[in-house]
Amino acid sequence: MQTEPKMWKRYLMWFAHEHIDFRHAEMQSIISLLNIPVRYVEKPCVQKPYCIVEMPSEDCVRKIASRSVLLKNCIELWARAKTVSQLHVNLKNSLKNSTGSWVAGEKDNNGISNTCLCPKELIESSCPLKKSFKIEVETFCKHYSMKEKVSKIETFSYLPFEGPVKLKNPDVTLLYLEFYGVDPNDVPEEPYDVFFGKWIADGQRDLIQVHSLKKRQFIGNTSMDAQLAIIMANQAQVKLGDMVLDPFVGSGSLLVAAAHFGAYVWGSDIDYMMLHARTRPTRVGQKIRTKEESIRGNMRQYGTESRYLDVVVSDFSLHNWRSDLKFDAIITDPPYGVREPTEKIGIERENYTLSEEHMANHVPSKVEYGLHHIYSDLLNFAATHLEMGRRLVCWYPLVREEYQESQLPSHPCLKLVANSEQVLSKLAARRLLTYEKILDDVPNMPLDPNAGVHNFREKYFTMGETTRRERKEKRAEEVAAYLARKLETTRYDLT
């Protein structure tokens, strides 16, 4: 006799209000990596700090939360409404709901249910007599005093909890959430959405402080922010035992994130001084670098030195990796020519030769390595050296007003599966591009014309000069207007 499939439960995934454009990409990467079955009731979006999903078990939720750094917490959703009073009505009706399944209410103009009733047994299973519990209140875009929070908690006195209240490490934690929109300058009197349910798991927000650059031994001018590095590792679907490469490794921030998830890490860079920690110190007030400062030192600091394979001084345009070597992921942040130079080995003089006597101590000269060449080389390299189905994750700088998705770097072996924007200024941004290898045995493509549509470095500094000039002119106008008013006032006083 065939048994019916177990009822899927409904969960609210509550996000931190950071890197909004990255939420869905990180979630989808983790879900795909862990092969978790998910049904979206409401997908992540810019206008809301949450999404609602259905999954077969709490274990699936905990697996996602064990990886995500953008996820704040997850709750098993018991009630949802557009007003506080309606939430209590829904929750009380849920306690009477004997259908054994979810019941949806009327839908708003966007096709989203204004109310929902969960099965009665879902609540009762969390209410044994001896279990301790507590209720927490969380709001988005509005602050409540402790007295106001306690007042809201007391309105849930009708719940069938008879165990003791325990504020620290209770058996069951319940969350009451209110959403007041995303504009702190236009907060409504009443919330747009309210939720109530049982806490299941927190995301990995603690990793942001654990891996903070402020606490790291070795950093450089362009060390990747800890949170973004972990997001990149998630989107690259890095897992235990993978071999990961960063071909523009710098101070190794991306290696730290990949090793945290159990990968063995390689790195390369053309900057000998950076790889040997002999560059000028980045921290204010530091005169010289200490002996402990190195990429290996960073790995040792986080207890992942055993995952560190090595870094090599290498020109990426003339890389020295074997053609049959395969990586499980490539995560990198190529230089843009703004804070770090874009260079490769070369000489601008024609017919240049080097004598035997100078060969031993020769230090190769460098020439500009244009962004369009960097990204064409990077995609060709990934097409050759990535395992099938694995990912390349890299940043791509651009001028915001000129952005067109059709102009992003492309390769027939690689499929663009995620594209998220980080705004750097009013005029400039960079996009985190995630490519997945879908084909093999394709020859290197010629220089990608899309990758060189704009000279980012030239336009970046041109934009900066224009902005500074405009600010200077505006300031001069303000000063002139102020002096004119002052002169007019003085004349009036004299008369």
Kindly list the domain boundaries of the chain, sorted by start residue: 9-204, 210-348+361-458
Kindly tell me if the per-residue pLDDT of 187 is higher than 60.
Answer: yes
CB atoms within 10 A of CB 366: 15
423-478 pLDDT, tens per residue? 998 888 999 999 999 998 776 677 655 554 456 766 666 665 555 566 677 777 77
Q: If pLDDT is split at 50, 70 and 90, which confidence band does 29 have?
A: very high
Nearest to 311 by CA among 275, 346, 363: 275
What is the CATH topology of the domain spanning 210-348+361-458?
Rossmann fold (3.40.50)
Would you state the pLDDT for residue 172?
92
Would you state the pLDDT for residue 5?
44
What is the CATH topology of the domain spanning 9-204?
VC0802-like (3.30.2130)
Give the Cα-Cα-Cα angle 414, 416, 421 (nearest 5 degrees).
Answer: 145
- Cα 432 from Cα 423, distance rounded (Å): 11
Q: Are 117 and 94 in contact (CB under 8 A)?
A: yes
Amino acid at position 399, single letter: V
Q: If pLDDT is split at 50, 70 and 90, which confidence band does 4 have?
A: very low
Amino acid at position 431, single letter: R
pTM for this entry:
0.87
Give the SS3 label for residue 259: helix
User: Which has the minimum average pLDDT: 48-62, 144-158, 402-416, 435-449?
Assistant: 435-449
Q: Are 379 and 435 in contact (CB under 8 A)?
A: yes
Q: If pLDDT is split at 50, 70 and 90, which confidence band does 268 have?
A: very high
